[in-house]
Structures are given as structure tokens and as C-alpha cells.
Amino acid sequence: MTLNLNSQQASGDPAATTILALTGVTAGYGAGLILKGVELTVGTGHIVCLIGPNGAGKSTVLKTISGLLHPKSGQVLLRGEDISRLSSRERLNRGVVHVPQDRSLFPSMSVWENVLMGAFILSNQALIRERMERVAELFPIVTQRRSAAAGSLSGGEQKQVELARSLMLDPALILLDEPSIGLDPKARKSVFASITALAEDGRTVLLVEQNARSGLAVSHRAAVLEAGRVALTGTGEELLNDPEVARLYLGASARGTMSAAVTASQKAAEA
């Protein structure tokens, strides 16, 4: 197996249209750089998973795309448009929705009210009703627990409501930061089934996931981020089955860096 070492090909199927491209992106906080020249593309309708060690810059990538952080250099392109200097609200209007790592529901409000909050920039009530009906079809919990306080739901149920809320603006791109964090195995399985359902509904998902095995299993494409750069890309299946990636990120006990995985993969390709 030869892994694709050119992150520009991260969109997968050559026929797939590219919805998102990061070219030479650097970003950070204050004078410090976290991202040091990120190159990444995402194909329309794909689930793309970012994995890597803590501190590699995975969440910073999502913040740079959604506008919570502006790049110091490079470009963030959405459907070919440079959105690097746009505000988060302007990016939201263009269909970029960011679901953060921390739980973001209003605990004292009902499930129904929380999902409605996802349409806060819409004024067309007929459109809002239509979206609510569609969201409820994809996420039955919206109607099953309609009147329940969001804070009374389990962690997995709350994450499903967050995903449902993200659809109220009919997003072109959904950014998910650690959706399975803190969940038990059953809830985690349910959340990843929901992410798969988003792709089946035609959504594009860029996923950051510390549970690399689960993230790769549902992804069309994946990339390994290390020290602020994309070190390796491939299909989700390729990275899931790659012994070096498995050794470093899928629970094996051996230690190393992703540069070792890149070198090993290059040697395999040359053999």
C-alpha cells in the first residue's frame, strides 16, 4: 500500500469537486505560530478526519476555517473564494458551521428550543419550519425529547442535538471538534453513526477526532497533523490499516513521531 504524501490530493476521488482548500496557512495566538504552512483540501460530500498528537494544531485548523482565528499567512478557500479575512458571521452566512469540542447547548432550554437557535440568522418562518422537519427526520431525538431540558440529556444525546442544530442553516461545510470526547462506547457509536448520516445526506464534514480509530473508520479521507503541518494523507481506510499510523495513533504501545511514519511509507513506495 502506498499512502498519498501530497496533501493537495486530500479530496479523494479525482472527480470530486473541492469545497475547501487551505494553502500555506499559518496561524497562532499572539506571536506564537501553531499552524506552520498547512496544505489541505476537502472534497464535496466527503468526511475528512484530522488526527494527530495533542498540541499538533487540529482544533486551530477548525478555528482558522470558521473565522474564530484569522491566518497570519496563506489562504482559506471555500468553493474557490478566499474567505481568509472574512468574519465568522460572514463565513457562517456562506455555510460554514463549527460545532465546538465543549458542549454548547443551553441546558435549561428545551431540545426543540436549542435546535431552533441554530436558525437565529433566518427570518423566513416557513423555511425554518421546513428545516426543523428535515432535521427531525435525520435526528429523531429532536421530536422524541422535544420538551426535555437539554441539560437532562446524556452526553451522546446532547451531541446529537448539537449536530441537529448545525443543520438549521443548511451548511455547506460542518466542522466537528472532538465529537466523541467524554462519551461511553455506546454513545460514541451513535455519534459516529450520526456523522455518517450527515455525509449520506450530502453534507461535507471536516472532523477532528482524538479517537483516531473511530474517526478514520467513518472517513473518506484523512490527514495526520504534526507540529502544525500535514505530515501524511490518504483514505481513511489506508491510514487505518497503515502499521506506522496504527503504532503511533491507534493504541499501540510503541513511541515515535509521524516523520518516522512518512519515511517508512516513502521507503515502501520506493521498494
- Superfamily for 7-102+172-270? P-loop containing nucleotide triphosphate hydrolases (3.40.50.300)
pLDDT in tens, 210-267: 889 999 999 999 999 999 999 999 999 999 988 888 888 876 543 444 445 444 444 5
Assign 122 to helix, strand or coil.
coil
Task: pLDDT band for 132, please (50, 70, 90 cuts).
Answer: very high
pLDDT in tens, 166-183: 999 999 999 999 998 888
- Strand-strand pairing, 221-226 and 229-235: antiparallel
Domain assignments of the chain as residue spans, ordered by start = 7-102+172-270
Residue 117: the pLDDT is 92
Please state, in angstroms and rounded to a whole number, the distance separating the CA atoms of residues 11 and 235.
9
Residue 183: the pLDDT is 86
Looking at every residue in the chain, the average pLDDT score rounds to 86
C-alpha radius of gyration, the chain, whole number = 19
Name the pTM for this structure.
0.83
pLDDT in tens, 66-122: 999 999 999 999 999 999 999 999 999 999 999 988 778 999 999 999 999 999 888
